[in-house]
Amino acid sequence: GAVVSQHPSWVICKSGTSVKIECRSLDFQATTMFWYRQFPKQSLMLMATSNEGSKATYEQGVEKDKFLINHASLTLSTLTVTSAHPEDSSFYICSALTGDRGKVYYEQFFGPGTRLTVL
Amino acid sequence: SQQGEEDPQALSIQEGENATMNCSYKTSINNLQWYRQNSGRGLVHLILIRSNEREKHSGRLRVTLDTSKKSSSLLITASRAADTASYFCAPSSGSRLTFGEGTQLTVNP
């Protein structure tokens, strides 16, 4: 149980194009999903919190017009990197929360990640 | 910041030995979670310990939590080559997790 998938697992695109990454919770409903990015040999950096049916909450320094997040259903959140540039090349990882908002303790389950390379 | 800081940054041991990694944090928490990441992959949830717990076991893993010292440790007993990975702690007071740089564990066959 608690499986999270991401698609695609890797993508190569030209500078200036937009790329959409999907994050799905396969066997549970996730009211909240998170998006992280990770540079080589570095930690995960939280980019935004995605809540089903409402606007995403972005971390300081993350451009919301650059990284569009949509959480249209309880099992799907998408991250669109708009007008991608080489500096956007990174490993993007999503996670999904189990449990309802009434729970105090949460476990996050992570997707396998998406490797984005912008040429 | 709730970000955990892992120590050491890197650890290299022989198969069969125990590996101990430490985590320190600065704010109050409800729980602390440990994750493993194999190179180029997503994170795998290992164990969650609540603030009112002092020790928790899961298979070869033992986690301790000392809220008075704001620290936690992860012990992997009888390590295997397959345990080679980066390990991250994530102290939390809600749903947001922030990660430190992690400990890179290498288990040599």
* B 2-61 near A (Cβ less than 8 A): 30-31, 33, 35, 40-45, 48, 50
Minimal Cα distance from A3: which residue of B? B44
Which of A32, A43, A110 lies at the smallest CB-CB distance from B42? A110
With b for 16 or more beta-carbon neighbours within 10 A and e for fewer, the B10-26 pattern comes to ebebeeeeebbbbbbbe
Q: What is the pLDDT of residues B57-104, one digit of tens each?
A: 999 999 999 999 999 999 999 999 999 999 999 998 877 788 888 999
With b for 16 or more beta-carbon neighbours within 10 A and e for fewer, the A105-115 pattern comes to ebbbbbbbbbe
Strands of the sheet with B55-58, listed across from one edge: B5-7, B19-24, B71-76, B61-66, B55-58
Strands A90-97 and A10-13: unpaired
The distance of B82 to chain A (nearest Cα, Å) reads: 18
Tell me the backbone φ, ψ of residue A29, rounded to 5 degrees: -95, 135
Chain B residues within an 8 Å CB radius of A104? 30
In terms of Cβ atoms closer than 10 Å to its own Cβ (0-12, 13-18, 19+), residue B49 is buried
Q: What is the mean pLDDT of each run of 10 residues along chain A (119 residues)?
A: 90 96 91 90 89 88 94 91 96 84 68 96
Q: Which of B42, B43, B72, B45 is nearest to B58 (CA)?
A: B45
B8 or A108, which is more confident = B8
pLDDT recorded at residue A105 = 56
pLDDT recorded at residue A101 = 55
